[in-house]
Amino acid sequence: MGEFQKFFVSQVGILIRDSKCLILEFSKSPGKWGLPGGRVDEGEGKEEAFRREIKEELGIDEFQIHNTVDYDLFYVRPSKTVCGIVSYIENSSSEIILSDEHKSFAWVTEDELDNYNFIWPTLSNMIKKGFEYNEKNKIKKAQ
């Protein structure tokens, strides 16, 4: 009988405005991009942790959390597996104020995703699912 794989859970948010998704460049890994979010601290609930991470990384207090749009498991090192969970978030007006964890941000269209080197191996496809969710959500709001 084999040993169970241990893994970290990381929650990130897709924020789309005017058909562009916000992505962040990591300070410690220039040229590597990701979405805002992070891990749960000991004793935190999942939503509490997610809201804390978004506030820390973007300076946004008020936002709505919609559905989870995708998740995946991947290996970052032989001894470290990550379960990445991507949720769609909505905030239409707050100014983005980055923490020290990130050196820059960009608003990108779905067609521009392949121009970026993402820290998670499947993040580009995960973001595309966020764009799909955004389009479906726009249609529902219009009806």
The Cα 98–Cα 56 span in angstroms is: 8
Per-domain residue ranges of the chain: 7-142
Of the CA atoms within 13 Å of residue 65, those in its CB half-sphere come to 19
pLDDT tens sequence across 15-32: 999 999 999 999 999 999
Which tokens belong to 15?
Answer: 């924020």
Domain 7-142 has CATH 3.90.79.10: yes
pLDDT tens sequence across 84-117: 999 999 998 889 999 999 999 999 999 999 999 9
The Cα 6–Cα 24 span in angstroms is: 27
- Its pTM stands at 0.91
The Cα 107–Cα 23 span in angstroms is: 6
Q: Is the dihedral of CA 37, 40, 46, 52 positive or negative?
A: negative
Check whether 2 has a pLDDT greater than 80. Answer: no
